[in-house]
Structure 1
Amino acid sequence: MASSRTSKQQRLIDAAVELFAAQGVTETTTKQIAERAGVNEVTLFRQFGSKYGLLLAVIEDAAIVSQMGQTLIEQAGQTSSIYSALRTYAMAYLESLERVPDVVRSIVGEAGHYPTENRKALGQGLTLANRSVAEYFQTVIDRDQLPTHLSAETLASQLNSMLLGYAVIELTSEFHALWHDREEFLENLMTLFLHGAVTPLPDITAEALIEAPTSETIADLPAHLVHQILQQGKKAGPQAYALTYVLFSAGLSPSEVVGLERSHYVQDAHYQLLQIGSDRQVPLNQWILGKRYGSHIKNPLAQWLKSRKDANSALFLSSTGEVISEAELRQHWQDWTINHLTPDGHPPAIEQAQSTWCIEMLMKGISITDLQRLTGLTTPQLLSYAHRARDKAALEQAIRLDQRRKPQ
């Protein structure tokens, strides 16, 4: 770690960073580095063994993986948010690499010229840097009894590999459309690590499914129709867009939506939620059926509130500036969906927004018990949604299997 280095070691590292950035690793000599650092060349060999040993120290110093990993371990017992700790680590990792972009470009571009033993040493150095991050993962996994499909060390190596890959792409490629900006990359990365890109459907027993009322038809809306309705809301104005966003991102009933007040919207840099009554909170999802609608900070609801100039405490307003009524909300819904039909040929019903959200949450892996806490719905109602979620999961699996089949 950098804190244990001598003054001469740090001067050599700083000199190497300057020269590697200016003329590349291959063209830089140990003599040049020693002269820039104001030390004897013998001192360089004594401290680092070779130019490539010094390169490893430069990488460790630039990426500060070990230091940040140690910080994570210290945070493990102090923070209740694994999201916050990991995002802080990821941000620091990327910012450290972005401070030496020319060094990163040089290392990537010249790696093929390194002798085999030095490439092995480079790989070993990166592996060692993962261990403190893996220790943090293990601490949190044990503390919170988190179910994981991969070992802590594998999780750490995957995280660091993705961060390094992002830095390499950003610093060596000027034009790409892989992500909009660093914030989007980090949010997607946190979602992938903390929630999983594809989470298995919760294990619902056969007995529980048999008990569910099958006479009630649960009709969710297909993804393309949901996105079309959201676009209609967007065209209708900031409040309409915010209303459609809330309906599809929080799974509220029409009566719950019209009862919302400004104070019920809770937002910070890491999450946003709505307070329903005195004892229930519901998160607002960034992702709706595979498409992202803003971030926790910038989204249709936040934009609507930002645009308002009135002092009314209600979250949504009628055409006369009063609290919106359920009848007016239903009329808005009809306006947004007037030219759209469900797969069975009927106009979409506003209640189907809640059904769509519940089924999507079940397919993402939420348990029946947790979904009941979020929605306030009864277990029989939710088991009906589980029937539909299992049907959709079976259909998607069949489609994936067909798509994987290779032509003969």
Structure 2
Amino acid sequence: MSNSEIIPTRQRIINAAVELFAAQGVTETTTKAVAKSAQVNEVTLFRHFGNKHGLLLAVISESPVFQDLSEYLKNQATQTTSVYQALKNYCEDRLQALERSPDLVRSVVGEAGSYPLENRQALGRSLKEANHYVAEFLATVMEREQLHAHLPPQKLASLLNIMLLGYAVIEFTSEFHEFWHGKDEFLEDLVTLFLMGATNSTSLVTSSELVAVEKVIDLPFVTVQLILQRAKKSGLRDYALIYILFGAGLSTAEITNLKRNHQICDSNLHLLQIVKGNTRQVPVNQWIMGKRYGSYTNNPLTKYLKSRKDEHSALILNNDGVPVSEVDIQEYWQKLTEELSTPEGEQPAIEQAQHTWCVEMLMKGMNLEDMSLITGWDLSKLQPYSRRAKEKSALEQAIKLDNKS
């Protein structure tokens, strides 16, 4: 049985039109050529679509970009747990649909200025219908998350779709533009910008958090190594404590709440279970800034725990044999970093250990969504860390290129 007998006539005509529009452009494609490719006569094409304008409308409206959009968005609105994830899923899905037909996108958009009015109206109707569905979707998820928008859902939908289409056009029509390192970075930036700019950002991140993350100052390799070396000489407890700060990126408050049974380790992983605040599991890295500190089962933390003879449940104890406090941790850090200086000319602050860990994880390839799960931070709080990681990666790349010349 031939393909022409399996595929309905209408669909064969649309498939043929898609191929020809992509290959030679909408303007240069004739209905006669489409009918020939679809193995039908031209009269049959006219009976189904009226003319080439009607055929173009069918191609656009039944393309993967618009097809079943209403049902897809309804599912997204009810199945995802956060407005960020719902938006990112939608944006990613639409870009993937556009990527399936890059030649068609170039043809339809590139030639739109020369189309007759009826053709442009066909394109406009499809975009308007898509905006309507997206507006309903945005209204649903924003109401559920109790976000207050500065603009009505219809305008938000239009802005979002225009940015997606603009990105696709740039990607399909230019090379080496270097606006983004890839689609994932664009999507993260787009959704974060959209949420913070279009909605009441206090629902997503507090003003104090915004102020705090403006100053992301990670520590250089030499300083980190010196602190770890001093901690090792100071004793097993201090070494374990500094190892957690640089290897797991925990805050002092999180460390004080850790118990022995919050540790999970075997030959394949080493995790710490955070049970207060943002409950989650955090990996304890074997590698810190390119240097390995033992293994998952034999490292500064496991050695410290094995050395203890007490039965106390706390993971870290202070000099008096009771659970370490935030004040204790600050005092130990101050002693271990005395006379050390950051590039800014100041003694390293304990918060910089967490900054350093976060930047390093992003440089290793961790995306912002996964980092949000591990840190418990909002994506907007992670943005400055992402920028700092990109800055360091760019510097490393520049140095590598210079060494090759």
TM-score between both structures, scaled by the size of structure 2: 0.59
CA distance in structure 2 between the aligned counterparts of 1:53 and 1:348, rounded to whole angstroms: 68
CA distance in structure 1 between the aligned counterparts of 2:20 and 2:185, rounded to whole angstroms: 33
CA distance in structure 2 between the aligned counterparts of 1:233 and 1:197, rounded to whole angstroms: 41
Structure 1 segment 7-406 matched on structure 2, within 5 A: 7-196=8-197, 223=215, 226-227=216-217, 229=219, 243=245, 252-253=252-253, 255-256=255-256, 276=274, 278-281=275-278, 310-312=295-297, 326=329, 330=333, 334=337, 338-341=341-344, 347-350=347-350
CA distance in structure 1 between the aligned counterparts of 2:59 and 2:71, rounded to whole angstroms: 18
Matching residue's letter, 2:276:
D
Offset of 1:199 from its aligned partner?
6.2
1:169-195 deviation per Cα after TM superposition (whole angstroms, max 9, x unaligned): 111111111110111111222222334
TM-score between both structures, scaled by the size of structure 1: 0.59
Matching residue's letter, 2:53:
Y
Shift in CA distance, 63/163, structure 1 to aligned 2, threshold 3 Å? farther
CA distance in structure 1 between the aligned counterparts of 2:222 and 2:296, rounded to whole angstroms: 27
1:319-356 deviation per Cα after TM superposition (whole angstroms, max 9, x unaligned): 999889948972797389614447xxx5353268899x
Please report the RMSD computed on the Cα atoms of aligned residues, expressed in angstroms. Answer: 4.8
CA distance in structure 2 between the aligned counterparts of 1:163 and 1:52, rounded to whole angstroms: 25
Kindly indicate whether the alpha-carbon contact (under 8 Å) linking 1:15 and 1:36 is maintained by their aligned counterparts in 2.
yes
- Match of 1:293? none
Match of 1:77, SS state, is helix
CA distance in structure 2 between the aligned counterparts of 1:350 and 1:93, rounded to whole angstroms: 43
Kindly indicate whether the alpha-carbon contact (under 8 Å) linking 1:234 and 1:241 is maintained by their aligned counterparts in 2.
no
1:102-130 deviation per Cα after TM superposition (whole angstroms, max 9, x unaligned): 11122232222111332233122211122
Shift in CA distance, 78/92, structure 1 to aligned 2, threshold 3 Å? closer
Matching residue's letter, 1:229:
L
Kindly indicate whether the alpha-carbon contact (under 8 Å) linking 2:147 and 2:199 is maintained by their aligned counterparts in 1.
no
Kindly indicate whether the alpha-carbon contact (under 8 Å) linking 1:246 and 1:252 is maintained by their aligned counterparts in 2.
no
Match of 1:39, SS state, is coil
Offset of 1:311 from its aligned partner?
3.0
Offset of 1:242 from its aligned partner?
8.9
Matching residue's letter, 1:227:
I
CA distance in structure 2 between the aligned counterparts of 1:50 and 1:236, rounded to whole angstroms: 75
CA distance in structure 1 between the aligned counterparts of 2:35 and 2:125, rounded to whole angstroms: 25
1:111-162 deviation per Cα after TM superposition (whole angstroms, max 9, x unaligned): 2211133223312221112212221222223334322222222222222111
CA distance in structure 1 between the aligned counterparts of 2:167 and 2:75, rounded to whole angstroms: 26
Matching residue's letter, 2:9:
K
Kindly indicate whether the alpha-carbon contact (under 8 Å) linking 1:63 and 1:96 is maintained by their aligned counterparts in 2.
yes
Offset of 1:197 from its aligned partner?
8.1
Matching residue's letter, 2:156:
L
Match of 2:16, SS state, is helix
Shift in CA distance, 347/75, structure 1 to aligned 2, threshold 3 Å? closer
Kindly indicate whether the alpha-carbon contact (under 8 Å) linking 2:219 and 2:353 is maintained by their aligned counterparts in 1.
no
1:29-52 deviation per Cα after TM superposition (whole angstroms, max 9, x unaligned): 011111111223233233333323
Kindly indicate whether the alpha-carbon contact (under 8 Å) linking 1:274 and 1:281 is maintained by their aligned counterparts in 2.
no
Kindly indicate whether the alpha-carbon contact (under 8 Å) linking 2:339 and 2:347 is maintained by their aligned counterparts in 1.
no
Matching residue's letter, 1:311:
Y
Gaps spanning 5+ residues in structure 1: where? 1-5, 203-218, 265-272, 285-295, 356-373, 376-408
Gaps spanning 5+ residues in structure 2: where? 1-6, 204-210, 229-239, 266-270, 308-314, 318-328, 356-375, 378-405
CA distance in structure 1 between the aligned counterparts of 2:83 and 2:187, rounded to whole angstroms: 14
Match of 2:178, SS state, is coil
Matching residue's letter, 1:347:
Q
- Match of 1:362? none
Q: Sequence identity, in percent?
A: 44
CA distance in structure 2 between the aligned counterparts of 1:237 and 1:12, rounded to whole angstroms: 70
Offset of 1:59 from its aligned partner?
2.4
1:351-397 deviation per Cα after TM superposition (whole angstroms, max 9, x unaligned): 68899xxxxxxxxxxxxxxxxxx99xxxxxxxxxxxxxxxxxxxxxx
- Match of 1:366? none
